[in-house]
Amino acid sequence: MDREVSELVVLQLIHTLISNKNEELVKNGGGINMIGNNLRISLVKLTNEIQNNLLINELTNLRRQDGLVNGNGKLGINDILTIVKSLFPEYRTTLNDGQLSLHGLEMHDIEKLLVSKYDRFKRTQTDQIRAMEDEIFKNGIKTTATQPQSQSHTHPGKSGAVGIGTTTTSHGAHSIDPKREKLLKLYRDTVLNKLESKTGNFQKLFKSPNNMIIKNEIDYEDIKNETPGSVHELQLILQRSITNGVMRGAIGTDEWKLARQVQLELDDTVQFMRRALE
């Protein structure tokens, strides 16, 4: 894992384990898991949590597939000790009988550092995503649908949505084999019908777009009427529509909940279509 991600993982799990232990102690009439002025945590338990956490393993697997990590990519005990010492250079850390003690450290120090690390990581990732988005809008994403004898162009629709990596003619229409185009239209219509037949929530995502937040809104009619350049392009456009819905509303609002529900419906629809195609 990247160093920033590794630090966040270790820091978050330290906070979680100490908080959980403290809740148990409070129930039994005690308090924070401390000896003197030292926070304590089991190094073995911390290592097991990191190495066996499903979310962390999934993240590591994805980054290994992308060639971003080598080997199993998991953090070992020595890695964790090194990270802990780098996270708290002003505090003395000791290891005795498997118990990692953080001398003079308090819970609010961990929480403050965790928020700071997360905000910095979020800003970095946001900047990278923004740069990638600008590149996509500028050059598009090349797919297998692009034919070598024609040039690939992005073509904003009336909503500003981008036709991604599709081969276009001088009139802006998809220059693809008629049989392939027919199959793609059939796939598009089937996916939309399946998605809309569940709850009708998908169309509700387009009822009240907020252009103050989303850079380029996707129009529902464009999705419904334009032929996608590939199966993956259609899934990308649908996913982007849901992502826009998630970003429009604050966490916990009705609009945010609607978008999250549509995400589950899309995942189910995609799995259904994969099984059908197989």
Tell whether 149 is covered by a domain.
yes
Choose one of 118, 153, 168: the last residue of a domain: 118
CB burial of 174-208 (b: ≥16 within 10 Å; e: otherwise) equals bbbeeeebeebeebbeebbebbeeeeebbebbbee
pLDDT > 80? residue 202: yes
Are 269 and 194 spatial neighbours (Cβ–Cβ below 8 Å)? yes
pLDDT > 70? residue 92: yes
Q: Are residues 71 and 101 in the same domain?
A: yes
**In the chain, how many domains are there?**
2
Tell whether 201 is covered by a domain.
yes
How many percent of the chain have pLDDT more than 70?
Answer: 71
Secondary structure of residue 169 in the 3-state scheme: coil
pLDDT at position 209 is: 57
Q: Are residues 210 and 143 in the same domain?
A: yes
pLDDT at position 113 is: 92
pLDDT > 60? residue 211: no
Choose one of 89, 118, 147: the last residue of a domain: 118
What is the domain extent for residue 201? 137-277
